[in-house]
Amino acid sequence: QVQVVESGGGLVQAGGSLILSCAASGRTFSTYAMGWFRQVPGKEREFVAAISRSSISTYYAVSLKGRFTISRDNAKNTVYLQMNSLKPEDTALYYCAADLGSDNNLRDAKVYDYWGQGTQVTVSS
């Protein structure tokens, strides 16, 4: 069993920055790929970013690339999402997820095996 716990959400003004953290425990952290997704009420969960096991590959939603950066520290069992130039439309519940299978198809929520409870990000205009 893998436990995934997000933190770092909050209220920020438009143009501001936040760093989300996600700690995963239960297995060797470097054995799973990690992803961030977000969801607003009434809409489907949306891919944000993902990172492979060794950090060699990173993936971003096209609309977010350049503003968001994903990274991981395998020694700390943590993945991060640096969010800059935040906009009100970035307001959502942000989820972290772990994929025990492979580094393929990381944009697809269905490949992830474990999910956190989410951390709320609210961007005011």
Has residue 26 got a pLDDT over 90?
no
In this predicted structure, what is the pLDDT of residue 65? 78
Higher pLDDT, 54 or 123: 123
CA dist., res. 47 & res. 65, Å (int)? 12
Helix (H) or strand (E) holding 66: none
pLDDT cut 70: percent of the chain above it = 100
CA distances from 63 to 42, 60, 66, 99, 119 (A): 20, 8, 9, 23, 21
